[in-house]
Amino acid sequence: MKRSFYIMSDGEIKRKDNTFVFENDSGKKYIPIEELNDIYVFGELTLNKRFLEYASQKEVPVHFFNHYGYYIGSFYPREHLNSGYMILKQAEHYLDSTKRLFLARQFVAGSAQNILHVLKYYINRDKEMLNDTYYAIEELMGRLEGCTEVSQLMAIEGNIRDLYYKAFDLILENPDFSFEKRTRRPPQNYINTMISFGNSIIYTIVLSEIYKTHLDPRIGYLHSTNFRRFTLNLDVSEIFKPIIVDRMILTLIGKKMITKSDFDKNANGIIMKDKGKQLILQEIDKKMGVTIKHRELGREVSYRTIVRMELYKLEKHLMGEKEFKPFQSKW
């Protein structure tokens, strides 16, 4: 099982023989390349072309975040798995509006399914007042079928998320973490800051997995494609946000593992201190390693593999082999 490597402190990364070495004030850390899935850079990092060259050779993507924890971009090495056939299929499903609508709808429906799953968990734990939200989201889900434009799907998805995030207040009952409304760039309160940070991590996780497939991350279906930016990872992330990011946020706040002291205010709105960011990274990383039994495959697979298999399902849909049905959490 390959692992992600997180760089939180300031320092320098270099290629040393057949490893990477990260050096800072507290010493050197060797990173064996064969066990490396990807690298996350949060600290102020010095690197050179030799490092990038080796990362590319060893097929290791590097994701960069700025000082506040906002995603900057990724070093996405030269594709190593190229299939002209698959790219054509991907484009075909984008250019044909019926095919594109179908996939876009699947991503929204998959997201909504897993949102309901998260709500159900709390309803079963004496939060009956969430039932109204549950039914309202169910009702919105029913409208997906009638959508004829991707923009309509996006609007419904926005409505579902609004209802759902408002329900966080009922789940948490913690005035420090009241949701108010969704704010981005910059997020205006604690919970929005956590959501933004968690989402940007899941986007990069999916991007790292796309790198291991034949899919082109620049062609998405729900999030509008401008062929310059990665969008497919945003699409697929919708399915996993509720079960990986949202659950983690609710747990961390619920167990008081994150409190308002983990945040700072600055001109850019609310930002998370390193300790909080580290905790979120740790929790998501742990979750990606959790395994569940996969019936058809006949063995246990980790959530990270589940994400990759979701991309394989998408490939098979594009190939006309099997209709894409988004992953539904059962736990």
Site for other proteins contains 296 (CB under 8 A): yes
Site for other proteins contains 86 (CB under 8 A): yes
Is 223 labelled a binding residue? yes
Rounded CA gap, 2 and 228, in Å?
A: 29
Site for other proteins contains 154 (CB under 8 A): no
The footprint of other proteins on residues 47-66 (CB under 8 A) is: 59
Site for other proteins contains 184 (CB under 8 A): no
**Residue of 242, 28, 219, 218 lying closest to 114 (CA atoms):** 242
**Residue of 239, 232, 259, 194 lying closest to 318 (CA atoms):** 232
**Residue of 220, 228, 279, 288 lying closest to 253 (CA atoms):** 279
Q: Which of 32, 142, 158, 320 binds other proteins (CB under 8 A)?
A: 320
Site for other proteins contains 301 (CB under 8 A): yes
Q: Is the peptide bond before 186 cis (omega within 30 degrees of 0)?
A: yes
Give me the least distance between CB of 319 and other proteins, in Å please.
7
Rounded CA gap, 28 and 22, in Å?
A: 6
Is 238 labelled a binding residue? yes
**Residue of 279, 306, 276 lying closest to 292 (CA atoms):** 306
β-strands 291-294, 299-302 pairing? antiparallel
Q: Which of 9, 294, 300, 323 binds other proteins (CB under 8 A)?
A: 294
Site for other proteins contains 310 (CB under 8 A): yes
Tokens linked to 250: 């609710």
Site for other proteins contains 67 (CB under 8 A): no
Nearer to other proteins, 138 or 300 (CB): 300
Q: Do the beta carbons of residue 200 and residue 70 sit within 8 Å?
A: yes
What strand order describes the sheet that includes 36-41? 3-7, 36-41, 62-65, 71-75
Nearer to other proteins, 52 or 309 (CB): 309
Q: With contacts defined by CB under 8 A, name the span among 5-13, 83-91, 162-170, 180-188 that binds other proteins.
A: 83-91
Nearer to other proteins, 257 or 297 (CB): 297
Burial class from Cβ neighbours inside 10 Å (0-12, 13-18, 19+) for residue 32 reads: exposed
Residues contacting 269, CB < 8 A, separation 6+: 183, 186, 187, 188, 193
Is 138 labelled a binding residue? no
Nearer to other proteins, 2 or 229 (CB): 2
Q: With contacts defined by CB under 8 A, name the span among 46-54, 120-128, 219-227, 294-302 that binds other proteins.
A: 294-302
Site for other proteins contains 38 (CB under 8 A): no
Nearer to other proteins, 73 or 320 (CB): 320
Interface residues with other proteins (CB under 8 A) are 2, 59, 80-86, 212, 214, 294, 296-298, 301, 305, 308-310, 312-313, 315-316, 319-321
